[in-house]
Structure 1
Amino acid sequence: MNKLISVILLSWYLLSANTSFAFYNHQDTLRGSNGIGRYWWDVQHYDLSVKFDTANQSISGSNRITFKITAQPHDSLQLDLQELMFMDHIMMDGKELNFSKDGNVWWVKYPFSQLPVGTEKEITAVYHGKPKVAEHAPWDGGFIWIKDSVGKPWIAVACQGLGASVWWPCKDDQGDEPDNGMNVALEVPEGLDCISNGRLQATTNTTAGMHRVDYLIKNPINTYDVTFYIGDYIHWSDTLNGEKGKLDLDFYALRYNESKARKQFAEVKPMLRCFEYWMGPYPFYEDGYKLVEAPYLGMEHQSAVAYGNSYKMGYMGRDRSNTGVGMSFDFIIIHESGHEWFGNNITAKDIADNWIHEGWTTYSEGLYAECLLGKEKAFDYIRGEWRNITNDQPVIANYGVNDEGSSDKYDKGSAVVHMIRAMLNDDEKFRQLLRGLNKEFYHKTVTETEFEQYIIKTSGLDLQPLFDQYLRSNLIPQLEYYTKGKELHFRFTNIIPGFTLPLQLKNGKEMTTIHPTGEWQQIKWKKGNPEFPKDFLLKISETKE
């Protein structure tokens, strides 16, 4: 009976702890859920073509979407294209389809229900408009239309969270990537370079004063990762002999920044070697690796990483960990490239679980610090970033409403990774866990349950209480203790039912492991105050009997 009561209390607590008082509307549900216009079709390929009118800050284009029917269809298909953009035509089998607008959604009308499961179809959406302009990219999202320091146009986009549908029509669902990749054709004014994801296939002069670049993306890609960079760029190439052979590296900087960029971007090769050692082969050999100077801080655009850290070490010239270690590398190069493994290779189906992207990538900063400076300094850096944790709400946000949740998905998410490593107490097992995750979920979208269960099974540890405590509640465990005679008394407070951790203490010349719970316990203690481990996110306080 007591066990049953504990289970009921835990279930009630997690439900209430992971439910915020945010208000969601119809558009949030359409965008964030796999609803009746989405769940029955799977994107196979995108063929996107966009023309840029830089004078009027507008675009026009089309997207041919190849999709497969995977479940009994409905007669309305949901395409996403946000306000300020307008749908002109939607075509299938050479005929125009009827459609209606519902905020940021366009409902395509057709008797899809008459098509059998397994059918593949193509629809082409033709559109135009003036995309939302970002006021503070990359945080608010949208287009950036600015001039570089010599007065030449510099144009880009950042749309994570806001969504790719801010500038092109698509199934704007993080859980559905085009299985067979994507073609991107971008038409821009002559005299400006245009870089996108994947590999450049052709450059063609089109109408007077314009030229088109064609890129091929062979791997699945999330819609928010699809990008472009337009400006006066200088380009150089290199290669890395990596775990899967030769990896092509391409670098793009504004022409007048070439000297600074060549020096700063030299960090890429040792970083990639480090990341391949820890996390497995770079996931996109077919599409190569690019690092591109951008008019905003940075973004993990797959195979075309955005860089805007002003050629400074650390995070815009400061150390987020406050340990000094963070000034040993360029934060944006390391963090945004780390997303190629966690975020781009392994992608959360719902953005509520984006700690899978941000927590594990934040930990990759520490892995690079370990390659660079050794384990002790790396651990100082990792623990130092915990000072940024706010505990404003649970890390895992609300499902089905396009809720990204708390910024704690970065540093508290990283703390969860570090505690798993501490509990394994075996660096090789931890390395194989990282590599195994990237192999098991290679080019896949995952649910939180799938992700957690793989870690639990592979590690052999009962990590469910850890995940529930640190991801589904905003409570930080409080370890209370006191000594009495030759005994150490201890317990946890501020925990969910059933939570415990294995904590190693130095007891004289010996090491003792305790497993605190919500009940007072005691062990024999030789003398002095205990020294508690630093690698767990805890509050520790000495109390009275």
Structure 2
Amino acid sequence: MKLLHSFLWLGFLIAFCGAQHFAQDKRSIPSSYSPSSAPTTIEKFDVQYYRIEMQIDIPRRNVVGKTTLRLASLQDNLQTVTLDFKTPLTVDSVGGAAAAFARQDGLLTLTLNQSFNRGQQAEVWIAYSGNPQVPGSIAFVFDRMPDESPYVWTLSEPYGARQWWPCKDTPADKADSVDLIITVPQGNLVASNGLLTEVRSDPSGWQTFHWQVRYPIATYLVSIVAGPLFHFTDYYHYSPVDSMLLDYYVFPDDKIIAQQKFTEMHDYLDALSHYFGPYPFLKEKYGQAQFGWGGGMEHQTITSIGRVSDAWTYLYVHELGHQWFGDMVTCASWHDIWLNEGFASYSEALYAEWAGYNGQPPGLDSYLDYMSTQLYFDAGTIYIEDTTSFAQLFSRIVYDKGSWVLHMLRKVIGEDNLFEAFKAYLNDARWTYGSVRTENFKEICEQISGVDLDAFFDQWLNYPYYPQYEYEWTPHSNVDQSYTVELVIRQTQQQTLYVMPIDLRFLFADETDTTLTVQNNQFTQEYLFHFAKQPIYLQFDPDNWLLKESKETSPTTLITGYGFHKIFPNPSPGAVNIELIYWQREDYPVYVFDLLGKKVRTLLPNNRIFNQHQYFWDGKNDRGKAVSSGLYFLKAPTVAEGQTRKIMIIR
């Protein structure tokens, strides 16, 4: 799921909101909706197939359903099968190899009509009926569209599938295939996973939609949106001769903007396919279906979205990224949910690098700028100890700090190795289309890079916070006119030592610079550098490859900070010199306004010395006419937002 970068609360934790992020990921699972008190016995059997048949009477808010499971025993003498089914639905009957049933504490135990030994298959079915909606839950919702049309939608992560169909509700056991046969009153459409293979109408006023999923799928990724939706399609041409269906279902009120906005999906797919390899469900489809929750959810091949908006680009990218990370390979345990969410959040930064971000062209600067929107400095570990705590399970840490782990890993092992590791991890025969743990990703990264990553993953996943650095550097001139720099770096945080490479950018008196990388693996560490020219400034981790705090304790010869530094003479008979401090090398404008707020002149720098950008105003307006005596104001909103400086012109 995708969040926003600023926490909201809706019952339970919803999402966070960022610079360009105006959508939420799936963080609104109510506190009353919890796992069963007793866990499913994972090792007893393996689910191979589900067939979910459900007639949904949308106006009357009632369902009649039947779920068939095909399973293989993982032990000898299997006599009972326990499923998750925490729901107000009534079990009407069971059959197939199931002879009887019992319900307790959100579990449905089926007594089999014979014993099954290891490797033997059994098929059971459960018939049920009623209203599966639970107050405060968003697992199965009877809802209304903005035009008041009734419709139904589901959102099952992490423990919601069991609310509307009996299943083995764990991401560690994916079914090889699923059929969803959903019947609704005529006039409604059904959007779901996989491919739509049949639509049939009943003379009594019902219509049935048969969706087939033929890739492995986790229970929480199974989805339904049913109602009077507007449907349209497109095709993604992933090769000169092959294409894939793009399938969209939205509220009728949003049909125009959806048909415009969703044309961008081709670019999203091109970008993520470049970094991760081909879209993993090419034989089925990719689509988006609008639903009633105010965020997004990566249902396999059919992402659910709360809004259609130009502002939601990075939510759409996030959910698409989940098709690789979360759907193709799925965290085997919710302890490792960062393998889903951190990777999908990192997909956003890679798309910024691909497409450009915040007015910048495609490239590393756009990527680094986007990563700054995902900074996370609060406590907590990325590894989630208590998976029944939804505040922990869907907190920002697994999204933002999880993304930063990958950002920092890019620096540690190199971007070529990281991108190769992504593809190798996704396509490893041991777990592709299956379930994974952090150790699996770590193993692949170590194999490809040759770097021991024990310390890296331990420090960033199992400890809260981040490193806090203090550094002190002292230059010394030598008799041969060269220079030696003594540098001391200290880590001052209370928890673990962080072993990380650190970039150091030295600026020299001749306005050149060089960047060196040191390995920092001690709480206090000393370094010596030799230069042929005079260093006058040190930038610590200038491109922000580290999630950190840093503070220089030695004096600097450069002016630090941002904004206006000098304005002289002031008052002035006409000509004014202006110095503005910022590190970017672009030429940012300074504007001159009169007392009425009218812009009279736009200035660009005429000289730069490191971070000091020098401007000259000749006291004339944009038409070349000398301004009259009076009070004027300088503003530089690009680099000094909110700062205003006064100039008095006295002729």
TM-score > 0.5, shorter chain as reference:
yes
Bigger mean CA deviation after superposition, 259-268 or 428-437: 428-437
**1:414 has 2:415 as partner:** no
Which of 132, 140, 150 is the matching residue for 2:147?
A: 150
Segments ≥4 residues shifted beyond 4 Å: 27-31, 399-403, 495-498
Cα distance in 1 for partners of 2:389, 2:279 equals 29
C-alpha spacing 1:370/1:221, structure 2 compared with 1 (3 Å)? same
Residue 536 (str. 1) matches residue 546 (str. 2) = yes
* Residue from 184, 189, 192 that aligns with 1:188: 184
Aligned to 2:521: 517
* Match for residue 271 of structure 2 among 258, 270, 274: 274
Aligned equivalent of 1:63: 67
- Distance 1:49-1:245 versus aligned 2 partners, 3 A rule: same
Question: Counterpart of 1:281 in 2: which secondary structure?
Answer: coil
TM-score by length of 2: 0.71
Pick one of 417, 424, 429 that aligns with 1:429: 417
Q: Which residue of 1 aligns with 2:221?
A: 225
State the secondary structure of the residue aligned to 1:202.
strand
Shift of 1:252: 2.0
SS in 1 for 2:208: strand
Structure 1 position 496, deviation (Å): 5.3
521-530 vs 266-275, which moves further = 521-530
- Mapped partners of 1:378, 1:124: distance in 2: 53
CA spacing shift, 1:399–1:295, aligned 2, 3 Å: closer
- Secondary structure in structure 1 of the residue aligned to 2:280: coil
Contact 1:83/1:103 (<8 A) preserved? no
Percent sequence identity is 24
Tell me the equivalent position of 1:301: 299
Residue 186 of structure 1 aligns with an amino acid whose one-letter code is I
| Code of the aligned partner of 1:542 | E
Matched, 1:119 2:117: no
Equivalent pair of 1:188/1:212 in contact (CA under 8 Å): yes
1:398 to 372, 385, 406: 385
- List runs of 5+ in structure 2 lacking aligned partners: 1-30, 357-361, 476-484, 556-651
What is the 5 A alignment of 1:89-128? Answer: 89-93=93-97, 97-110=99-112, 114-128=115-129
CA offsets 1:290-315 (integer angstroms, 9 cap, x no match): 1222222221011111122342314x
Question: Quick check: 1:395–1:406 contact (8 Å CA) kept in 2?
Answer: no
Distance 1:222 1:495 in 2: 40
Give the AA of the match of 1:398: E
Deviation at 1:544, TM superposition (A): 7.2
Q: Is the 8 A contact 1:30 1:401 kept in 2?
A: no
Deviation at 1:99, TM superposition (A): 2.0
Counterpart-to-counterpart distance in 2, 1:131 and 1:542: 59
The structural deviation recorded for 1:161 is: 1.7
Q: How far apart, in 1, do the equivalents of 2:446 and 2:386 lie? A: 22
2:434 corresponds in structure 1 to 444
What code does the residue aligned with 1:418 have? H
2:215 partner SS: coil
Offset, 1:434: 1.8
- Give SS of 2:173's match: coil
Change (3 A) 1:41 1:371: same
Give the alignment of 1:245-260 within 5 angstroms: 245-260=242-257
Greater length-normalized contact order (CA 8 Å, ≥ 6 residues apart): 1
Contact map agreement 2:52 2:180 (CA 8 A) in 1: yes
CA contact (8 A) 1:483 1:529 kept: no
Q: In 2, distance between residues paired with 1:295 and 1:344?
A: 22
* Alpha-carbon distance in 2 for matches of 1:399, 1:43: 26
Aligned to 1:312: 310
The answer to whether the Cα contact below 8 Å between 1:38 and 1:78 also exists between their aligned partners in 2 is no
Residues 1:348 and 2:331 are matched in the alignment = yes
CA distance in 2, matches of 1:401, 1:460: 37
**Rg larger for:** 2
Q: What one-letter code is carried by the residue in structure 1 that aligns with 2:321?
A: G
Which of the pair is proportionally richer in helix? 1
Structure 1 residue 76 corresponds to structure 2 residue 92 = no
* 2:108 partner amino acid: W
Which amino acid in 2 is paired with 1:456? E
Give the alignment partner of residue 236 of structure 1, picking from 228, 232, 238. Answer: 232
2:41 paired with 1:52 = no
- Give the partner amino acid of 1:127: Y
Report the Cα distance in structure 2 between the residues aligned to 1:381 and 1:165, rounded to whole angstroms: 41
Q: Secondary structure of 1:245's partner? A: coil
Measured in 1, the distance between the counterparts of 2:36 and 2:460 equals 26
1:131 and 2:132 aligned: yes
Residue-pair matches, total: 493
CA gap 1:262/1:349 in 2 versus in 1, 3 angstroms = same
The equivalent residue for 2:604 is none
| 1:192–1:405 CA distance, 2 compared to 1 (3 A) | closer
- Listed one character per residue, the Cα deviations across residues 223-267 of structure 1 (whole Å, up to 9, x for unaligned) are 111111112222222222215932121222223322111111111
Counterpart-to-counterpart distance in 2, 1:196 and 1:342: 20
CA distance in 1, matches of 2:35, 2:290: 32
- What amino acid is the match of 2:466? I
Bigger shift: residues 302-311 or 140-149: 140-149
- CA contact 2:178–2:213 (8 Å) conserved in 1: yes
State the Cα RMSD in Å.
2.5
Distance 1:355 1:278, change over 3 A: same
Is 1:393–1:406's contact at 8 Å kept on the other side of the alignment? no
How far apart are 1:73 and its partner, in Å? 5.3
Could you state the TM-score of these two structures normalised by the residue count of structure 1?
A: 0.84
1:161–1:207 Cα change, 3 Å? farther
Judge conservation of contact 2:199–2:207 (CA < 8 Å) in 1: yes
Would the aligned equivalents of 2:133 and 2:141 in 1 still touch at CA under 8 Å? Answer: no
